[in-house]
Amino acid sequence: MPRTVPPRPSQSRTPAPSRRLLPALALAAAATLLAAGTPAQAAPTTIPGGPYTGMGDCPVSAPAMTDPGDLQVGCVVSVTNAGSFTIGSTTVPLTSPIKLQFGVYWDKSAPVVTFPDGSTANQYATVAPSGGQLLTAQPAQIAIPGIINFLPGLTSIFAQVELAGPVTEFTPLAAGESYPVFKLPVKLHLSNTFFGDDCYIGSDSSPIMLQPTTGTTNPPAPAQPMTGNPGTIAVNNDPNGHNALIAAFTGATLVDNTFSVPGASGCGLGGILDPIIDWTMGIPSGAGKGSVSFQQTDTSLALDSSLSDLTASLGASAGQPPSAAAHH
């Protein structure tokens, strides 16, 4: 990546889907984030605000982020406000926010990906947050076919998306490219009076592997491709004079219909209800049979070449009004 162009001033735009997105961020990040991190400071004791809103659990003291060989370190918070999750023949509406938060680092191996147009982007490893959960989601209610839902949890099913492993291959500059922004392994926890406490679709060892993109998917036939939207992208320098670079992606839609879904397990005494749930929901199902659409997604990413400077940036932002992009 080019490393000689200085950071560009604050900007906000809605990029055309046919163009390579975020050249300003790619060049600015390369120019600004070169040196290895300096010794880490303690995690901030106050709640970050401004463009760092929601990053209070960023794991700035984690060993992976304090490694002096890291070329870049950062914090991510992302909130999805709408959408749906189709499993087999059943669609689960996303009626409440889903939040992702984690730290990122770009180590001395400097991993990059190359897109079809020849442009490249850094690919980051992730670190779980220090205080809160990496994924936070509320249960969604599913109607049972042919049954009037007069008593939720008895005449309906609650489904909750849960994490089934770490987020991997985080590629923020894939926004607008037909390439996954990250890989997210999940499982679906089903709750009903008759199901027991351990009724799941997917597991830690056999997850539903989501690879959402803001570009266009490539599912196997006869499934049709889905196309997302990178939303509006803004690139800003730290407002308090530090070296951190902040990218905000607002109003994005991330989609995927390339994943497979395993059958249910642990439903009812001894799993007696597993085959009934499989038949009702149309699972197991192969790639292209299900889909996910994460809509109205707002993401904030802070990057710095120095961990101590990133920590100082978070601390200096405390007391600032919350950022609209990250505050829900």
Looking at the domain assignment, is residue 26 inside a domain? no
Segment holding 191, helix H or strand E = strand 184-191
Looking at the domain assignment, is residue 295 inside a domain? yes
Residue 153 has pLDDT above 90, yes or no: no
Residues pairing with 13 in the sheet: 233
* Residue 47's pLDDT band (cuts 50, 70, 90): confident
Looking at the domain assignment, is residue 89 inside a domain? yes
Tokens representing residue 142 in the block? 């599913």
CA proximity to 182, closest of 121, 240, 251: 121
Structural domain total, the chain:
1
Task: Find the mean pLDDT for residues 228-239.
Answer: 94
- Which residues span the domain enclosing 144? 57-247+258-316
Q: 300-326 pLDDT, tens per residue?
A: 999 999 999 999 999 999 877 776 554
Supply the pLDDT for residue 95. Answer: 86
* Residue 156's pLDDT band (cuts 50, 70, 90): low
- Measured between alpha carbons, how far is 89 from 72 in angstroms, rounded to an integer? 43
Burial track 51-60 (b if 16+ CB lie within 10 A, e otherwise)? bbbbbbbbbb
Looking at the domain assignment, is residue 32 inside a domain? no
Collect all residues with Cβ–Cβ distance below 8 Å to 324 and sequence separation of at least 6: none
Q: What percent of the chain has pLDDT over 70?
A: 80
DSSP state of 111: -
Supply the pLDDT for residue 318. Answer: 86
- Whole-number Cα distances in Å, 66 to 45, 105, 150, 226, 315: 18, 9, 53, 39, 17
Looking at the domain assignment, is residue 28 inside a domain? no
- Whole-number Cα distances in Å, 54 to 147, 210, 230, 249: 41, 24, 21, 14
- Measured between alpha carbons, how far is 218 from 212 in angstroms, rounded to an integer? 11
Looking at the domain assignment, is residue 323 inside a domain? no
Looking at the domain assignment, is residue 309 inside a domain? yes
Query: Are 96 and 311 contacting, i.e. CB atoms less than 8 angstroms apart?
Result: no
Task: Find the mean pLDDT for residues 23-30.
Answer: 34
Supply the pLDDT for residue 51. Answer: 94
